[in-house]
Amino acid sequence: MPSLGADMDAGTLVEWRIAPGQTVARGQVVAVVETEKGAVDVESWQSGVVAQLLVAVGTKVPVGTVLATLEGAAPAASVAPPIAPPALAPPAPAPAPPPPPSAPPPPVSTGARPLASPAARRRAHEQNVELASVHGSGPHGEITVADVERAARPSTPAPPAADEALPAPPPAPAPTPAPADRGAAMRQAIAASMARSKREIPHYYLGASIDMGPSLSWLREQNLSRPVTARLLPIALQLKAVALALRETPELNGFWIDGAFRPGGGTHVGVAISLRRGGLVAPAIHDVDKLSLGDVMEALSDVTLRARESRLRSSELSDPTITVTALGERGVETVFGVIHPPQVAMVGFGTTLDRPWAIDGLLGVRPVVTASLSADHRVSDGHRGARFLAALGELLQHPETL
Amino acid sequence: MTPDAIRESVRRVLHSIAPEADLDSVGPGADLRAELDLDSMDFLRFITGLHAELGVEVPEADYRKLGTLDGCVSYLEAHAPAASSP
């Protein structure tokens, strides 16, 4: 059971996407796990042939539990995460697999996950219906609740709720948490993580005003020539600028684990996304410093949509090396961020507002944003943090270089 | 395309973005962003969705004209491609 962030200590396996004897590729989605952040696609850390599925559908197991074993991979691999975050997770159960893939490999022949609404997915679990066998009648063949019910009708009634100590398969699926429960569970998870952050991390906070004029006019120009499906939002520039500014101050990009700083293995920027029914997730966009602005924008739209539909991938939840939050949409001027442990920094963007701004001794009106940095004093000092914000501001004056 | 059909399309796109919202409670002149709690990403999806449904490519400068249901209908009616086009 991979750790999907420091605020998660267990998950319920709701669907196997592989079977013994099947070949899996690294990065392939092998299972679906229900967490307080919604259903998450669990990716394999290894390539190999599935030897055994060790956890039955419907079972809730702690982070770190081996879910399945693979053969033919590098030494006795398991479908388990390489690093569990400290303090919350038991020791890694298997010999250290390699670091997570930086990008998911191309889809494998087992076929894409069936398109289904979260409600339909939930109903399918309640009714013990295999989604792959359901014909979807919705747009793009999406499976609807009605489709699931149609498929469920000829079968026997759903079995009663599973016991805690579930025996071997055939499994009786445990009911997936209802949305209200999930909301409460998510709130608890956020509470645990943020309380740990405030308890353990000596935060320092910096803010800087940045002239967004050059970025916004460049963006307007760009969007005139871009088709509607490829338009950019200011946040794409801000994310890319954050990623590039981190090259100057790598000590803001990484984790505090076991009393020491560990640099991130890439610049995987977590983006705080508020869910429409309440709550928050911050999945990673991988290697933002290496993506074009168009790719950043595409990745952002994709991850936002999947976060809201509860279809995130495990690597997206476990990988962020820093988090960016933009509350500007709601009229907030300055964000005082709470760092998401074990990360060591959080960058916030407020609303971009027209402000009086002195340029060369003259007063003008410019669109100005307040960028803020919350960082971990165990790793960096205000001096370095200031350097990061200065680099960020400078990059946003030259959007064509982003 | 009739205004009613356009309105239906607009509602369909809005529903796909804010599935939990009760669109019947949104007045024809109400601010969609505020009523449905749409952020800029949601609004861009709305514009993209309208493009997919109706073939209308709304330039950024015109976004503010699509701030209400009525605004959407009149804008899209004026800019919809001729009925004969695919």
**CATH at residue B27:** 1.10.1200.10
A265 SS3 class: coil
Name the β-bridge partners of A365: A356
pLDDT score for A188: 86
Instruction: Determine how β-strand A322-326 pairs with β-strand A269-271.
Output: parallel
Please indicate whether, in this complex, the C-beta atoms of B47 and A228 are within 8 angstroms of each other: yes
- CB contacts of A300 in chain B (<8 Å) are 41
How close is the nearest chain B Cα to the Cα of A206, in Å?
26
Tell whether B57 is covered by a domain. yes
Tell whether B85 is covered by a domain. no
Tell whether B86 is covered by a domain. no
pLDDT score for A97: 43
pLDDT tens for each residue of A170-200: 444 445 555 567 778 888 888 888 999 999 9
How close is the nearest chain B Cα to the Cα of A166, in Å?
35
Return the closest-CA partner of residue A55 out of A64, A42, A68, A44: A68
Domain containing residue B9: 3-79
pLDDT score for A278: 80
Segment B48-72 mean pLDDT: 93
Q: Which of B44, B53, B79 to mutate to test the interface with A (most CBs of A within 10 A)?
A: B44
Q: Which of B37, B39, B58 to mutate to test the interface with A (most CBs of A within 10 A)?
A: B39
Instruction: Determine how β-strand A280-281 pairs with β-strand A38-43.
Output: unpaired
Q: Which of A216, A276, A297, A308 to mutate to test the interface with B (most CBs of B within 10 A)?
A: A276
Name the stretches of chain A with pLDDT < 50: 75-112, 154-174
Please indicate whether, in this complex, the C-beta atoms of B41 and A276 are within 8 angstroms of each other: no
Asked if pLDDT for residue B29 goes beyond 50, the answer is: yes
Q: Are A104 and A299 in contact (CB under 8 A)?
A: no
pLDDT score for B69: 94
Instruction: Give the angle subtended at the CA of A83 by the CAs of A30 and A278, to the nearest 5°.
Output: 70
- CB contacts of A228 in chain B (<8 Å) are 47-48, 51, 57-58
The count of domains in chain B is 1
pLDDT score for A330: 74
Tell whether B84 is covered by a domain. no
Domains of chain A: 1-113+159-198 (2.40.50.100), 118-152 (4.10.320.10), 201-401 (3.30.559.10)
Quote the percentage of chain B above a pLDDT of 70: 94
How close is the nearest chain A Cα to the Cα of B3, in Å?
23
Tell whether B34 is covered by a domain. yes
pLDDT score for A196: 93
pLDDT score for A161: 43
Tell whether B47 is covered by a domain. yes
Segment B35-60 mean pLDDT: 91
Please indicate whether, in this complex, the C-beta atoms of B40 and A301 are within 8 angstroms of each other: no
How close is the nearest chain A Cα to the Cα of B51, in Å?
8
Would the ipTM clear 0.90, i.e. be above it? no
Asked if pLDDT for residue B86 goes beyond 70, the answer is: no
How close is the nearest chain A Cα to the Cα of B2, in Å?
23
Amino acid occupying residue A291: L
Tell whether B7 is covered by a domain. yes
State both tokens at A328: 């500007």
Q: Judged by CB atoms within 8 Å, which residues 39-78 of B form the interface with A? A: 39-41, 44-45, 47-48, 51, 57-60
Tell whether B71 is covered by a domain. yes
Question: How far, rounded to the nearest angstrom, does the alpha carbon of residue B83 sit from its chain's CA centroid?
Answer: 19
pTM of the model: 0.74
Asked if pLDDT for residue B65 goes beyond 50, the answer is: yes
